Amino acid sequence: MIEKLSRLFVRTLRDDPADAEVPSHRWLVRAGYIRRVAPGVYSWLPLGLKVLRKVETIVREEMVAMGAQEVLFPALLPREPYEATNRWTDYGDNLFRLKDRRGADMLLGPTHEEIFTLTVKDMYSSYKDLPLSLFQIQTKYRDEARPRAGLLRGREFVMKDSYSFDIDDEGLDASYRAHRDAYIRIFERLGLEYVIVSAMAGAMGGSASEEFLAVAKNGEDTFVRSPGGYAANVEAVRIAAPEALPLDDAPTMSVVDTPDARSIAAVVDVLNAEHAQDQPWTADQMLKNLVFLVKHPDGTTEPLAIGLPGDRDVDAKRLEAVFEPSVAVPFTPEDFEKYPALNVGFMGPVDASGAAILGEESATGIRYVVDPRVVTGTHWVTGANAVDQHLTGVTMGRDFTPDGVLDVADVREGDAAPDGSGPMQLARGIEMGHIFQLGRRYAEALGLKVLDKNGKLVTVTMGSYGVGVSRAVAAVAEATCDDKGLCWPLELAPYQVQILATGKDISVFEEADRIAGELSERGLDVLVDDRKASPGVKFADSEILGMPIIVVVGRGLADGVVEVRNRATGERSEVAVADAVSAVLELAGR
Ligand code: ATP
Ligand code: MG
């Protein structure tokens, strides 16, 4: 098909939008593909909509090919099913809630496990009906705390979500595999450089889960990779605990004066100055203790102390992922006032007399969890719960016993991968897709049971799978754009070819139309810049708009030549007018 730029509903902008944080956002707005209506809410203009539709088509084709059936469920949903699974509460502020005229609570769907489960329950009753996979490509709503980077994190966005229903675990495994394979084909076709990483299940619940991340330096997700093939979202890294040490070898616990040493670094300095030993004292011999208030969605709270090696910090994202939908916030001075037994700056699990200070069975009753590196027999320097005093030789399993393990310390470049596959490297990515084995949580909560072979009622097991369709538009733009504008791959470009008619001579416009007509007949989509604008404006706009092949019909026409440009590589070649069509077809891979 052919479109004329003179009538296309588009305006390129000279300036970056004020809120543009990443190149894809800047260029999608400046090229007139999308327009902001409210934070995280965008309109799709003709060029943007064409790219969105192409992404949808790829996703749809691959979902259909793997045997899933397309449906379309409402975005406007009643509260009750989400109440039954507790997500009305668990989703917290991220849920867009509203009331109808009768005062009934409703919501705009952030994801649709509940409604799919209920619909299958209504219609199916036997193992013979399974396995079943359903999908939709639909607008989702989440009141994100930080809508960001245009389409990358919207409050209204397009997702492909699918759900699988199986009678048993083997069935779920097969459905999960089929989705995983389909996702691999989708992301290959989108041309994204991606990695598949182990993920946390988050608010969704369930067990096995993996994410597809587009590798991108502006991505919000951090992931790790090892030479031996370990790959995980940093939130999902579970470090391997070292072996326990014999308690007999542990040193005795003793008090050291550490005047004014309220930080790990200060304690290390005092020890090296006043209590030098063979090897210098280092931060990783210290036990750092931090206290948090865990706030649950239902409004209740509980204190929690975390102990970790002194050279590590709590990683905010890892902490968030572990507690979601609850949140853990650091104790405030007011919180500490309620626990006079705690000596801020000199805190530790025990005092010099050996009395427990942290832990459910202690003076404070504050639950105490430790980093997996803190195993039985390890000994530490930590606060003595007395001003200006620390304890050395505080031994886990002898002097203190924590209530549990919590793996939320920062993961660092070079840390050993948990599976022994070598040192981990850190990189950033954009989450493009997420596949979950949900198991029976939703089916149980909503009563989805079918009769098995023996006529016994069994609970169905489910999977849930998402692709960020609108996010993919931005992720591809992010991966391909340059300092001049967008730069689409052939598969996703709104038009594969843009023809610039430059000059005043009528023959230039006629020739541009003729070439466009021939290309269109060969199945290419062509945008003709037929505006009465200067060549400079047309060149600049063609670079911003980002069609992969650009044909310039202008001054050269008098000599019988036109220019064919490859937008991505910048390569240009002059070709005889008669060869223009074949040159373009070749670039287009036809
Ligand atoms: P994130 O960690 O980025 O917030 P999520 O884990 O909440 O995403 P899922 O619930 O797994 O996301 O949703 C499935 C897919 O939908 C994601 O992999 C992502 O591609 C897309 N997606 C999620 N939230 C948004 C959003 N706010 N804007 C655009 N796409 C989104
Ligand atoms: Mg996710």
The pLDDT score that the predictor gives to residue 18 is 87
Say what the pLDDT of residue 446 is: 96
Q: Is the CB of 434 under 6 A from ligand 1?
A: yes
- Does the C-beta of 429 come closer than 6 Å to ligand 1? no
| 383 close to ligand 1 (CB < 6 Angstrom) | no
Residue nearest to atom 4 of ligand 1 (CA): 153
Q: How far is the CA of 66 from the centre of ligand 2 (A)?
A: 22
Residue 249 pLDDT: 85
Q: Per residue in 278-322, pLDDT tens? A: 899 999 999 999 999 999 988 999 999 999 999 999 999 999 989
Q: What pLDDT, on the 0 to 100 scale, is given for residue 589? A: 93
Report the interhelical angle of 469-480 vs 46-65 (nearest 10°).
Answer: 110
Work out the widest C-alpha separation in the chain, in whole angstroms: 98
**In the prediction, which pLDDT does 201 show?**
60
Residue 223, judged by CB atoms within 10 A of its CB (0-12, 13-18, 19+), counts as buried
Q: Which residue among 137, 142, 159 has the greatest number of ligand 1 atoms within 8 angstroms of its CB, and so is best to mutate?
A: 159
Q: Which residues of 453-489 are buried (b: 16+ CB within 10 A; e: fewer)?
A: eeeeebbbbbbbbbbbbbbbbbbbbbbbbeeebbbbb
Q: Which residues contact 214 (CB under 8 A, 6 or more apart)?
A: 187, 192, 193, 194, 429, 430, 432, 475, 478, 479
User: What's residue 277's pLDDT?
Assistant: 86
How many A from CA of 27 to the centre of ligand 1?
A: 22
Per-residue pLDDT, 346? 94
Atom of ligand 1 nearest to the CA of 220: 3
| 434 CA → ligand 2 middle, Å | 5
Q: Contact 109/74 with Cβ under 8 angstroms?
A: yes
User: Which pLDDT belongs to residue 298?
Assistant: 87
C-alpha 565 – ligand 2 centre gap (Å) = 40
Which ligand minimizes its atom distance to the CA of 213? 1
DSSP result, 146-164: S-BTGGGB-SEEEEEEEEE
Q: Which residues of the chain have pLDDT under 70?
A: 201-207
Interatomic CA distance for residues 423 and 415, integer angstroms? 5
Distance in Å, CA 292 to ligand 2 centroid: 25
Q: What confidence tens digit (pLDDT) does each residue in 58-69 have?
A: 999 999 999 999
* pLDDT of 117: 98
